[in-house]
Structure 1
Amino acid sequence: MDHHTRSAYCTVVNKADNTKYLCFLHTKAGVLNVGLTNASNVWITDFTKESLSQHMKEYGLKSIEGYVSKIRSSSGNGCATVCLEENRLVLQLESMPGAMTMALLRLSEPEGREVLRDLLFRMADCLTHLDNTGNVKSFVSSEFEPRRQQTGPVVAVRKRVPGDSLINPGTRRLKRVPTGVAFDDSDDL
């Protein structure tokens, strides 16, 4: 995996028919490319530095992180529309300032299969890296971080000291001296 490449992933659900797509964003040498897949077909943008800059300027985006954030927030809010045409896909993301539209070209079968293979291994490498470090720092891996639900104030649990009562914590359990059983040898016949 190229360490100068940054990746981000999210799920896009077409609000028209609830079809799910995996959206993958790869930044390499300052150029962001966006791809969508339904696990059998792959569509991808073919931005150059100039065309990406023009696209970002058109939609008032100042950074690649802002671009990624806009795609994630729009797709996470269910504000995405996917329109399939003959050999391309048009992705429209609606948000408060305005809608962002981009056209993605469909890759041929061998190219698409290679992109899917690369995508699968990038995601696996990302998860392996998370497992090894346990450290989530970049926008790339936060997608895989488990969501935590806050259920209320956290109460510290006091460690039980040996001898404390399980039923009434804070009181000591009384230990009785073992008395044993007295056997009488005279009763034997």
Structure 2
Amino acid sequence: MEPPAGPFFPARHGSQRYVCYCGAEPGAAFNAYVTNASEVWSTDFNQEKLERHMAQSGISEDYSTKFREAFEHRTAALTVHNGRATLELKEDAWSLTFDLFKLPSSEARMRLQALMFGLMGCVSSLEKRLEAAEGAAAAAAAVCRSEKNQPRSQKLLMPDLSPRKNQGGGSAVLAKRRVPGESLINPGFKSKKAPTGVDYEDS
């Protein structure tokens, strides 16, 4: 027996808790189930019964889609009475009612085993997806931290080329101090003769 793929929905009736779910069976494309972890109720559809129910409901769309929509919107209602269960799905544009019948104990055990292994498969799949998502998030965070810290480190390593200002707010370029005897026209050339001044006697 193949584990049910779901969807799954937790429901209550009085003080009892139930799990509603659906799955495909040999000879039928769809069946709905309800269990309280000790007993199991089923729609017991074969292909003929399923087609008859779909014709009466006026809905030709896959019932699994309708169950998923109702379960996601939490518009499913369950009642259990006299060994039978009734599951109602209600949306704005449609409604469905399913009568479910209690399965014999031997078949109920098989269904519960299949349900347990199906839920284990769902949990394992979710854990793998969560682990992959956490790894991707950690890698993205590491890249963001690297990009955030990179300009700062480059700034610390680069020389400061910005112009410096003196205290008076003047030009940042400091004038080179002229050495006595150095030519004003040709900086760097130093006269070999000492300056003698102006001779006024010859004039």
> Shared fold by TM > 0.5?
yes
| Pairing of 1:1-189 with structure 2 (within 5 A) | 2=2, 7-14=5-12, 20-29=17-26, 30-64=28-62, 67-125=63-121, 127-128=123-124, 157-158=143-144, 160=146, 169=152, 171-174=154-157
Which runs of 5 or more structure 1 residues have no equivalent in the other structure? Answer: 135-143, 145-153, 176-189
CA 19–73 in structure 1, closer or farther in 2 if over 3 Å, else same: farther
Larger-gyration structure (1/2): 2
Q: 1:18 to 1:53 in 2, by over 3 A?
A: farther
For 2:118 and 2:48, the matched residues in 1 are separated by 26
**CA apart distance, 1:41:** 2.0
SS at match of 1:53: helix
Output the amino acid matched with 1:41.
Answer: E
C-alpha displacement of 1:112: 1.5
Aligned residues: 150
- Structure 2 gaps of 5+ residues are 131-139, 159-203
Worse-matched range after superposition: 94-103 or 54-63: 54-63
- TM-score, normalised by the number of residues in structure 1: 0.61
What's the offset of the Cα at 1:59? 2.2
Deviations 1:50-94 (A, max 9, x none): 110111222232242xx1121122232222221111111011111
State whether residues 12 and 76 of structure 1, in contact with CA within 8 Å, keep that contact through their aligned partners in structure 2: no
Query: Judging changes above 3 Å, is the alpha-carbon distance between structure 1 residues 174 and 31 closer, same or farther for their aligned structure 2 residues?
Result: closer
State the structure with bigger RCO (CA 8 A, min sep 6), 1 or 2: 1
How large is the Cα RMSD of the aligned pairs?
3.9
Moved more, 71-80 or 85-94: 71-80
- Change in CA separation of 1:61 and 1:19 when aligned onto 2, cut-off 3 Å: farther
Q: CA deviation at 1:97?
A: 2.3
Work out the CA distance in 2 between the residues paired with 1:62 and 1:18.
35
